[in-house]
Structure 1
Amino acid sequence: MKQPIIVTKITTNEEGISIFSKNNFDVNKRGGMFLTDQIAAKNFRLRRSDVGYSTQFHLAGDATFIIILKGSLKIELQNGDFIIFNVGESFTAEDNLPESITFNDKIHGHKASVIGDEPLEAIHIKL
């Protein structure tokens, strides 16, 4: 069945506030699999963060597709909404501000923390 692949996305609304939304990637049947069209990427990095690692509120900078390989990562927004991403799950971090808005860590961005009792390992793919 030709259903889109849905990936959680952190983006910004018209006021520059980080929000969760969804990316729907259409797929095409190729042989016995369903593939999206090619998605351009700049590079990728492997990441490890220790148990207890956390950040302050920040923006993504470059859009990044993140795949969790080990551990759990909690992403929290300014309004308290959060999603916990576990092994095998992925998301894109794309929240950024237009040049006309100055970043304020009390209003903008998201924060991340490694939760649970094992370190985080992930793949970061810059888009």
Structure 2
Amino acid sequence: MSNKFKITTISVDHNFISVFSEESYEQIMRGGMILTDRINAQNLRLRMSEPGYSTDWHVAGDATLIIIQKGTLRITLQNNKYKEFTTGDSFIAKDYLPQEINFAHNIHGHKAEVIGEAPLFATHIKLG
């Protein structure tokens, strides 16, 4: 078994363009469980979105762990690459822009859409 927990992320490259990447967390054995160290969080929100819901281009701003409870969410980047996250999947959205860079809808961010016939149920955990 791997000693790292890997999770897909939406982050930014050196030009602050949103990209898919992967983050790894060390795991330790504790009381019969394999756990990562504590990851601080600020708040939790429960989400429901109807089929067909979509966003415009945006950045997460604050790192947010999103856990898909039911349904399918497609995340598309400006380069048209996309990933679909479905029941049981999770990812961290943490793309952002520094204050001195103005958001440009044709350059920055990602968009999200609920695909398929089922509504999306997800948990959003704002990381600290």
TM-score, normalized by the shorter chain, greater than 0.5: yes
Deviation at 1:32, TM superposition (A): 1.6
Q: Which has the higher strand share?
A: 2
1:31 aligned residue: 31
How far apart, CA to CA, are the structure 2 residues paired with 1:99 and 1:12?
15
SS of equivalent to 1:23: strand
CA distance in 2, matches of 1:87, 1:26: 24
Which blocks of at least 5 consecutive residues in structure 2 are unaligned?
none
Aligned residue-pair number: 127
Query: For the residues of structure 2 that align with 1:113 and 1:42, how far apart are their CA atoms?
Result: 25
Unaligned runs of 5+ in 1: none
**TM-score (structure 1 length as normaliser):** 0.97
Q: Is 1:16 aligned to 2:11, yes or no?
A: no
Alpha-carbon distance in 1 for matches of 2:2, 2:112:
33
Cα-Cα RMSD: 0.8
Rounded Cα–Cα distance in structure 2 between residues aligned with 1:98 and 1:126: 19
Conserved 8 A contact 1:27-1:34 = yes
Q: Which residue of 2 aligns with 1:46?
A: 46
Cα drift, residue 2 of structure 1: 4.7
- Counterpart residue identity of residue 99, structure 1: Q
SS of the counterpart of 1:44? strand
For 1:13 and 1:102, the matched residues in 2 are separated by 16
- Kindly indicate whether the alpha-carbon contact (under 8 Å) linking 2:3 and 2:28 is maintained by their aligned counterparts in 1: no
Which structure 1 residue ranges, 4+ long, deviate > 3 Å from structure 2?
none
- Is contact 2:72–2:116 with CA below 8 Å preserved after alignment? yes
